[in-house]
Structure 1
Amino acid sequence: MTKLEAVVKACEDKIAKDIVTIPIDPGLAIADYFVIATGNSRNQTQAIADEVEKVMNEMGFEHRGIEGYREGNWILLDFSDIIVHIFTTEDREYYDLERLWSK
């Protein structure tokens, strides 16, 4: 299982909705992929983030940073080549990252 597949599966295991992977243009040097997922509540977004972090740690990957965990509306996990965005429904609709980053 690839690192990207493991992130997606961890999201699925915590019943995340509308999981999307977006390849990032190599010239931007931000990351290789964004993974965007939605949770029904702040508790669920935190549970999804916890599961992603657990699975990545088990595979030997630690995050470089985590933002927004306490609030839980938009949690960002930075694994260097993969950046995971976990939103509540309202925040995902508001920020609409798919529109901004999709080609």
Structure 2
Amino acid sequence: MSDSKKMAALAVEALADKKAVDTKVINIQDISVIADYFIIASGNNKNQVQAMADNVSEVLGKAGYTPRQVEGYATANWILMDYTDIIVHVFSEEDRLFYDLERIWRDGKVTELEELA
């Protein structure tokens, strides 16, 4: 299993532990150099969005991965966590609909969560 695939699997598990809504994994390695995977998930409120981001940070940190950058934590509308090979986007439901990353990155391959295992 590639390192980016392992990271993506850990991040998806961490999001699921905090009851993430509608988690999607998009493989963008053939269409962009910025990362291998985008992971997109929603939370129902600010506290859940922050808890999801905290859990991703904790789980990936224990596995030896540190983020290059984290943006948007204070407002918790859209938290972007850049781990170089994967980028985790944790949205409020409203902001996810507004920014619609799934449409913007539709040329990427949606990866089923089972494929990461």
- Same fold flag (TM > 0.5): yes
How far does residue 99 in structure 1 lie from its aligned partner after superposition?
0.4
Structure 2 match to 1:28: 32
**Which ranges in structure 1 are unaligned for 5 or more consecutive residues?**
none
1:39 corresponds to which letter in structure 2? G
CA-based RMSD of the aligned residues comes to 1.2
Query: 1:67-82 to 2 correspondence within 5 Å?
Result: 67-82=71-86
Structure 1 match to 2:62: 58
Range with bigger deviation, 78-87 or 21-30: 21-30
TM-score relative to the length of structure 1: 0.96
Q: Distance in 1 between matches of 2:14 and 2:75?
A: 21
**Aligned residues between the structures:** 103
How far does residue 27 in structure 1 lie from its aligned partner after superposition?
4.9
Structure 2 match to 1:11: 15
TM-score relative to the length of structure 2: 0.85
Q: Distance in 2 between matches of 1:46 and 1:55?
A: 14
Query: 1:42-53 to 2 correspondence within 5 Å?
Result: 42-53=46-57
How far does residue 26 in structure 1 lie from its aligned partner after superposition?
3.4
Q: Distance in 2 between matches of 1:45 and 1:8?
A: 14
Identity within the alignment, %: 50
**Which ranges in structure 2 are unaligned for 5 or more consecutive residues?**
108-117
